Chain A
Amino acid sequence: DAKTTQPPSMDCAEGRAANLPCNHSTISGNEYVYWYRQIHSQGPQYIIHGLKNNETNEMASLIITEDRKSSTLILPHATLRDTAVYYCIVRVANNYGQNFVFGPGTRLSVLP
């Protein structure tokens, strides 16, 4: 199973871009990179996912390196409400279904 490595915490000034890195050096060719976040004690919220191309949606952008060994989630204009734990997950496919493995994530604090 591919594992991910994220910094435990980061700070970002309100209104600035937040760039959250993730290393997944053992990712295999058919595994996707997913990003979720968990605000306080709420349920995790899906943000974005990608395979090898960069992706953008209304919430964020996902930049995946050409060798796919790392990626960066970009929140273009961080707000106080973006303070959360951000999880980078490589989807593990097994014989039965879709098992997501959550690591400790990055605790992002957006500061006024």
Chain B
Amino acid sequence: NAGVMQNPRHLVRRRGQEARLRCSPMKGHSHVYWYRQLPEEGLKFMVYLQKENIIDESGMPKERFSAEFPKEGPSILRIQQVVRGDSAAYFCASSPPGGPLADTQYFGPGTRLTVL
């Protein structure tokens, strides 16, 4: 059973460009979460999605950031007009819809975004 997959693993963008980060949850998981980790800091929750729905985006910056989890395909975290402060590791996690581990999140390897 493949784990959570994220791509690309490393992404370099110049200021003002767009960054698209993809996350494929574990098989059978219908809940996806995005976290950001700034250098030398802990993970910060950004957004929680189920298929075609944003459930909680309380940790998302109000501007330039958006997320989606379409019916088909991976979840996408999109950052428009990137700035140097967006440089960070972005982790995706997924959890199953039910069962004894329904509250447990399994993390992907992350995408390291560098803004030049």
Contacts and interface: CB of A to CB of B under 8 A. Distances in A.
Contact of B105 (A32, A41, A98): A98
B23 to A, nearest CB: 11
Given A96-B48, A97-B56, A102-B44, A43 B4 contact: yes
A64 B101 CA distance: 19
Which bucket holds chain A's interface residue count? Answer: 20 to 34
Interface string A81-111: 0000001000100101111111111000000
Contact of B45 (A32, A36, A100): A100
Nearest to A48: B104
A46 B42 CA distance: 15
Contacts, number: 61
B44 A43 contact: no
Given A43-B108, A98-B95, A103 B89 contact: no
Chain B interface bracket (under 10, 10 to 19, 20 to 34, 35 or more) = 20 to 34
B116 interface: no
| B contacts with A: majority SS | strand
Given A44-B43, A94-B56, 19 more contacts: A34-B104, A41-B110, A42-B109, A43-B4, A44-B91, A44-B93, A46-B104, A49-B104, A87-B42, A91-B103, A94-B58, A96-B56, A97-B56, A99-B45, A99-B59, A100-B43, A102-B42, A103-B42, A104-B42
Interface of B: 4, 31, 33, 35, 42-45, 48, 55-56, 58-59, 89, 91, 93, 95, 103-110, 112
